[in-house]
Amino acid sequence: MVKTKLRDAASGRLWEPHFRPDERLEDLELERQSMEFLCRDASNCVFMNADNYEQEEIPAAIVGPSEQFLAEGMKVSVEFFEGRPISVVLPPSMEAKVAETAPPMHSGQENTWKEARLENGVQIQVPLFIAPGETVRIDLKTGRYLERVRGERKKGT
């Protein structure tokens, strides 16, 4: 038996059916459009197709937990099934500037973390050596800190 997790494209409902290895499923024909994030309200995110300027309201539930990392003007791919949006494809990671955190400390422990608030208001855990104003890379699937982003160093000095 093959265990799966499937999502109903029409309702969004999840279920976990079991299949025999010789059974085959039908592939869905999805349309993918590049869209720009405009804004959000209590329950929807608004995206615009840059080619024809049509706007699409997509429920935040479809976008998922990474909705909090959307920034105005961010370009993402939106997948449509039978003319309805069913998923938003975000990059695997993004960069964000730390707005507030405790002053940096250098410790011999690598696994010690502190709270930080990013410019978009999201709270994450960062290592002790991160200072306010620094840019960090975040995994959008988990919302966790990946690494510090260092600026390019000047050559020839």
Bridge partners (DSSP) of residue 6 are 15
**Is residue 75 helix, strand or coil?**
strand
Whether 112 and 136 share a structural domain = yes
Last residue within a domain, chosen from 66, 89, 112: 89
Rounded Cα distance between 114 and 104, Å, is 10
Query: The domain containing residue 142 runs over which residues?
Result: 93-149
* Tally of structural domains, the chain: 2
Task: Please check whether residue 19 lies inside any domain of the structure.
Answer: no
Q: What is the pTM of this model?
A: 0.71
Per-residue pLDDT of the chain (157 residues; tens, 9 = 90+): 889 888 776 666 788 999 998 888 888 788 999 999 999 988 899 999 988 999 999 988 888 888 888 888 999 999 998 888 888 988 899 899 999 999 888 766 667 899 999 998 899 999 999 999 999 999 988 889 999 998 754 444 4
Last residue within a domain, chosen from 64, 89, 114: 89
Distance of CA 6 to the CA centre of its chain: 21
Whether 53 and 69 share a structural domain = yes
Please, what's the largest Cα pairwise distance for the chain?
A: 65
Last residue within a domain, chosen from 48, 64, 89: 89
Q: SS in 3 state form for 103-115?
A: CCCCCCCCCCEEE
Question: Domain of 110: which CATH number?
Answer: 2.40.50.140
The per-residue pLDDT for range 74-110, each reduced to its tens digit, is: 999 999 988 888 889 888 998 999 999 998 887 666 6
Question: What's the pLDDT score for residue 153?
Answer: 45
Task: Please check whether residue 25 lies inside any domain of the structure.
Answer: no
Whether 111 and 75 share a structural domain = no
Helices (H), 54-134: 60-63
Place of tokens 């695997």: 92
Task: Please check whether residue 6 lies inside any domain of the structure.
Answer: no
